[in-house]
Amino acid sequence: MHEEIDGQRLRVSAASFFQASPAGAAALVRAVRRAAGDPATWTSDPVIDLYGGVGLFAATVVPPDHPVIVVESNESAVADAKVNLRDRPARIIRSEVARWRAVPASVVIADPSRTGLGAAAVSAVAATRAPVVVLVSCDPASLGRDVGLLARAGYRFEYTEVLDLFPHTHHVEAVSRFVRDDRLSS
CA angle 71, 170, 109 (to 5 degrees): 20
* Active site amino acids: 138
- Provide the CATH number for the domain around residue 66: 3.40.50.150
Q: Tell me what pLDDT residue 168 has.
A: 66
Give percent of the chain with pLDDT exceeding 90: 70
87 vs 2 pLDDT, higher one: 87
Q: Tell me what pLDDT residue 3 has.
A: 78
pTM of the model: 0.93
Q: What is the mean pLDDT of the chain?
A: 91
The C-alpha atoms of residue 106 and residue 169 are separated, in whole angstroms, by 36
| Count of the separate structural domains present in the chain | 1
**CA dihedral sign, ordered 106, 110, 116, 119:** negative
Q: 143-150 — which CB contacts under 8 Å span 24+ positions?
A: 143/116, 143/174, 143/176, 145/116, 145/118, 146/116, 146/117, 146/118, 146/122, 147/176, 149/117, 149/118, 149/119, 149/122, 150/117, 150/122, 150/125, 150/126, 150/178
46: pLDDT strictly greater than 90? yes
Nearest to residue 133, comparing CAs of 68, 71, 81, 178?
178
Q: Tell me what pLDDT residue 49 has.
A: 97
Structural domain range at position 172: 2-184
**CA dihedral sign, ordered 176, 178, 184, 186:** positive
The C-alpha atoms of residue 175 and residue 84 are separated, in whole angstroms, by 23
162: pLDDT strictly greater than 90? no
